[in-house]
């Protein structure tokens, strides 16, 4: 008698080939490593933001430029002293550097979104309002009118 082959339909679905699974996992890992943007700013000033009760979260962080104000960290106290300093990006700066910092950030943003740029002030709670007023004046002169003050949620006692 002759032997008949079984049809492919009666065998069921073939087993899943797992030989390429490590390659797929590696590609996913590599993809997320490339896509994820890590913090590129090293804080050189101590910033303990004040607490607030009514907070809103910023929507698009790529449209935000951060201005940090506080006393230099221990690492930089020898060079910059203990008075509050301004940090723009990853550098210490003066009031005169603010317009150039804003312009550099504006060049990285598409032209349609440039009107939505917000300046976020992360200011230490112990800093006097004189410095804050000077920064606001410099922002106003540079035509940066959208200002945000960073704060942390109010802790209930």
Query: If residue 147 lies in a helix (H) or strand (E), which one and from where to where?
Result: strand 147-149
pLDDT for the residue numbered 66: 94
Tally DSSP H helices, then E strands, for the chain.
5, 8
Pair of tokens at residue 76: 């930089």
Q: How many domains does the chain have?
A: 1
The CATH number of residue 129's host domain is 3.30.420.270
Residue 140 inside a domain? The answer is yes
Q: Decide: pTM greater than 0.85.
A: no
Residue 29 inside a domain? The answer is no
Residue 99 inside a domain? The answer is yes
Average pLDDT, the chain: 88
DSSP 32-61: HHHHPPPP-----EE--PPEESS----S-G
Q: Of the candidates 56, 47, 64, 40, which has an alpha carbon nearest to the alpha carbon of residue 113? A: 64
pLDDT for the residue numbered 21: 85
pLDDT tens-digit series, residues 29-70 = 988 888 776 666 789 999 999 999 899 998 888 899 999 999
Residue 10 inside a domain? The answer is no
pLDDT tens-digit series, residues 66-122 = 999 999 999 999 999 999 999 998 899 999 999 999 999 999 999 999 999 999 999
Range of the domain at 88: 45-153
Query: Whole-angstrom distance between the N-terminal and C-terminal Cα of the chain?
Result: 90
Residue 88 inside a domain? The answer is yes
């Amino acid at each position: 008698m002759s032997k008949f082959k079984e049809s492919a339909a009666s065998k069921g679905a073939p087993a899943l080939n797992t030989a390429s699974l490590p390659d797929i996992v590696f590609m996913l890992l590599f993809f997320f490593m490339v896509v994820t943007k890590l913090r590129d700013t090293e804080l050189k000033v101590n910033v303990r933001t004040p607490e607030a009760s009514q907070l809103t979260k910023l929507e698009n962080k790529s449209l935000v430029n951060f201005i940090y104000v506080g006393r230099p960290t221990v690492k930089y106290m020898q060079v910059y002293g203990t008075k509050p300093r301004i940090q723009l990006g990853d550098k210490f700066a003066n009031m005169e550097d603010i317009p150039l910092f804003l312009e550099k950030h504006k060049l990285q943003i598409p032209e349609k979104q440039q009107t939505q740029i917000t300046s976020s002030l992360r200011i230490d709670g112990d800093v006097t309002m004189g410095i804050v007023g000077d920064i606001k004046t410099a922002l106003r002169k540079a035509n940066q009118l959208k200002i945000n003050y960073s704060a942390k949620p109010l802790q209930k006692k």
